[in-house]
A = this chain, B = another copy of it.
Amino acid sequence: MPSTSPAPKTKAVAPAAVPVPDPAAAGDEGMWTFDNLPAQVLKAKYGFTASPKWLELLQKASTRFNDGGSGAFVSKDGLVLTNHHVALGQLQKMSTPEKDYVRDGFFARSSAEEIACPDLEINVLMSYEDVTARVKGAEDPKADDRARNEQRKAEISRITKESTDQTGLRSDVVELYQGGEFWLYRYKKHTDVRLVAAPELQAAFYGGDFDNFTYPRWALDFAFFRVYEDGKPYRAEHHLRWSKDGAAEGELVFVTGHPGHTDRLMTVAQLEDERDAGLPLYLEIARRRRRDYGDYAAQGAEQERRAKDRIFGVENALKAVGGEHEGLLDPALIAAKRKAEDALRAAAATSKDPAARAAEGAWGRIAAAQKKYAARRREISYRRYEPVKLAGLAAAIVRLVAETAKPNDKRWEEYRESNLESLRFRLFSPAPIYPDMEEFMLARSFRESLEILGPNDDYVRRALGGKSPEEAARVLVAGTGLFDPAERKRLVDGGEKAVAASKDALIVWARGLDALYRAQRKWYEDEIESVLLAEGDRIAKARFSVYGKSAYPDATFTLRLSFGRVAGYELGTTRVAPFTTFYGLYDRAFGMGEKRPFDLAARVKDARTKLNLSTKVNFVTTNDIIGGNSGSPVVNAKGEYVGLIFDGNIQSLVGRYAYDETRNRAVAVHSAAIVEALRVIYGAGALADELTA
């Protein structure tokens, strides 16, 4: 499952989702904020009540991986457990042709052998606070949508800056319920993070793209990092104790983590637009991207190694979004959404509450804004150079120096003071960037834009400067010094003056495109986003008025808790087991004649006579999760670690839009498999001892 949101969607152009809650949200549905857990459901269905101490443990033991994913502290010495596929980007950055940790895995035999990550930032949510009144209080009620949007943004800048100044913590204001609420989240930030252990990709991602989003599955999709502070292992006061037996069938389990993005509150008009235009376009672009990376990788073994995590990412996204699209194509889903929307509209229209009645017309205005955006979607989508790292760095540098020259509350949100430290950490990463891959992908990106948009498109003209796509890419990559983090730092530190004076080919190029992108973003914020937020707020108020705050907000890559139970499911006319075991791993390998991607890593194959084969490997739960939850801990009622979320079954992919308890399943690595694999396959007994201490 995806650890990051699909590549071609960026904050600047993704249509913001707008609420229409399903008041029938029942069963184990929901990615709940910690301030609004469904206490009654937990009590009634599972006889469980969360104590403040239990909640604090789960909150503070949970970690966010800022390159997209979740994790948890699992020892007092700062050990963090996440998925191999969340770690994959760092593993790739650490690897060289000589030491390929992706292919071979890595197990530190002592803390001295742990490898520092080039640019991994881990966050821990320390506190959260409702700032809705303050954010909305900054709006002039007589102003238009566009002006109010600016007023909110400015107030949010002030809130985060104040908080950062006061606490030293990373401070974000999170918009929940599509503008219905605003919360200030404060994070402790860790940037000295070191790799402790990771299996071979072949064991972690067993079965490859075929078995991704598939169950039954047998993946050892785990990796360990350790957080350091002042050069010593970080003392993690809040960490999860390892369960002796791990998850059992039927057991109540919780998942904490950072689900990235859901669209459950989209209006029907928005869903239909996604189904008919948005997702098909996304899939079209992703298929091009897969072809491009495939062509690059086909050039040789080293190219294949370099592109490995990118290919994983695009295949993962294709499968995930393909599943989402399948889900939207189900007429029953749209019909259910329409029914819920009609019910809310009817209830709001006849409500005694003026706030509910004020939503009248909001759905229509959202549909109109959506239509306006859809008319430019294709153009905007092909005016990108997404897969290319260097071009993105150049553009970020040009913007950073311009934005930071402004007062904090006038900046784009990603350049506000509270975000700068994390941004610089990423910009100055020493992770390798490969010129040949950059040139190859930039040329492909240019050619694609030229073919789709034509030679007279403003972006195409500026980006190519009269050259052929291949020649333009060659000249840009040959003429840049941005491979060197020191040069990037020099430019940023030198500010607007240094950037304006730079003759670096890519900086010159990014300067030339800046006005175009700024205009495009301004158009989106003024014409689209402001409408979606204002109307979304009206619908949110109607919903709160009609149903109370019984629903959860759409996912926002912030900490959520979901609950559920370990349970198999019906598939066709048979049943899928709640667990897989090591037995099944060998069944799949030998049943497939050990053909790739079903072959076994050598030490995994060798271990078959030594492992306790009935050890549970993967398991499924009814927890409601989505991409971003990768690496989330599965925790039992005692707050113990019983499993590691890494996937959803294929039936869960529709989860971006809806949850179905009969078939949606989260897929986790069983805690027992991790210990058994560490001890028997990887000879990492000390690490196993640290877990089970």
Q: Is residue A62 within 8 Å, beta carbon to beta carbon, of the partner chain?
A: no
How distant is the Cα of A214 from the Cα of B575 in the complex, in angstroms? 10
A213 smallest CB distance to B (angstroms): 7
Q: A573-B319, A650-B573 are in contact. Are A591 and B613 (CB under 8 A)?
A: no
Closest to A570 in B: B210
Stretch from A99-107, A577-585, A626-634 that touches the partner: A577-585
Report the Cα distance A650→B572, complex, angstroms: 9
Interface residues of A in 579-596 (CB under 8 A from B): 579-581, 583-588, 590-593
- Check if B575 sits within 8 Å of A581, measured CB to CB: no
| Bound-complex Cα distance A214 to B576 (A) | 12
Which of A573, A578, A580, A585 has most B Cβ within 10 Å?
A573
Which A residues between 485 and 515 are near B, CB-CB below 8 angstroms? none
Contacts of A207 in B (CB 8 A): 574
Q: Is the CB of B593 within 8 A of A587?
A: no
Known A319-B573, A650-B572: A591·B580 in contact at CB below 8 Å: yes
Query: A272 interface residue, CB < 8 Å from B?
Result: no
In Å, the complex CA distance between A689 and B616 comes to 37
**Is A211 interfacial (CB 8 A cutoff)?**
yes
Q: What mask results when residues 200 to 224 of chain A are scored 1 for a CB within 8 Å of chain B, else 0? A: 0000000100110110100000000
Any chain B CB within 8 A of the CB of A598?
A: yes
Q: Please determine whether A210 and B598 come into contact, CB atoms closer than 8 angstroms.
A: no
Whether A614 is near chain B, meaning CB under 8 Å from some CB there, is: yes
Give complex CA distance A214, B573 in Å: 8
Q: Is A130 an interface residue (CB 8 A)?
A: no
Q: Are A581 and B572 in contact (CB under 8 A)?
A: no
User: Is residue A68 within 8 Å, beta carbon to beta carbon, of the partner chain?
Assistant: no
A587's nearest neighbour on chain B, judged by CB, is B584
- The docked-state distance in angstroms from the alpha carbon of A585 to that of B578 is 15
Contact indicator A211/B583 (Cβ below 8 Å): no
Q: Give the CA-CA distance A591 to B215 in the complex, in Å.
A: 12
Residues of chain A at interface, number, CB under 8 A: 35
Contact check, A580 vs B584: say whether CB atoms are below 8 A apart: no
Q: Which residues of B contact A553 (CB under 8 A)?
A: none
Q: How far apart are the CA atoms of A319 and B574 in the complex, in Å? A: 11
A568 within 8 A of B: yes
Any B CB within 8 A of the CB of A249: yes
Interface string of A591-614 (1 = CB under 8 A from B): 111000010000000001000011
Alpha-carbon distance A573/B207, docked complex (angstroms): 12
Query: Which residues on the B side are within 8 Å of A650 (C-beta)?
Result: 572-573
Which residues on B sit within 8 Å (CB–CB) of A210?
A: 573-575
Chain B residues with Cβ below 8 Å from A593 are: 249, 578-579
Contact B573 A591 (CB under 8 A): no
Chain A 59-105 interface residues, beta-carbon cutoff 8 Å to B: none
CA distance A310 to B650 in the complex (A): 37
Please indicate the chain B residues that have their CB under 8 angstroms from the CB of A249 in the complex.
Answer: 593
Q: Is the pair B572, A592 in contact by a Cβ cutoff of 8 Å? A: no
> What is the CB-to-nearest-CB distance from A156 to chain B, in angstroms, rounded to a whole number?
41
Tell me if B577 and A591 are in contact (CB < 8 A).
yes
Query: Which one of B214, B568, B613 contacts A586 once the chains associate, using CB atoms below 8 Å?
Result: B613
Report the bound CA distance from A590 to B574 in whole Å: 16
Query: Out of B581, B598, B614, B616, which one reaches A577, CB within 8 Å?
Result: B598
Q: Is the CB of B573 within 8 A of A581?
A: no
A616 to chain B: which residues have CB within 8 Å? Answer: 590-591
Chain B nearest CB from A386 CB (Å) reads 24
Whole-angstrom CA separation of A590 from B216 in the bound complex: 13
Q: Which of B573, B579, B586 contacts A583 (CB 8 A)?
A: B586
* Alpha-carbon distance A620/B650, docked complex (angstroms): 24
Most chain B beta-carbon contacts within 10 A, residue among A319, A568, A583, A613: A583
9 A-B pairs besides A210-B575, A578-B592, A581-B590 with CB distance below 8 A are: A207-B574, A216-B587, A572-B650, A577-B588, A579-B590, A579-B592, A583-B586, A584-B591, A587-B587
Q: List 19 A-B contacts (CB under 8 A).
A: A211-B574, A213-B573, A216-B591, A572-B650, A573-B650, A577-B591, A577-B592, A579-B590, A579-B593, A580-B591, A581-B591, A583-B584, A583-B586, A583-B587, A584-B591, A586-B613, A586-B614, A587-B587, A590-B616
Q: Which 3 A-B pairs have the closest CB atoms?
A: A584-B587, A577-B591, A583-B587
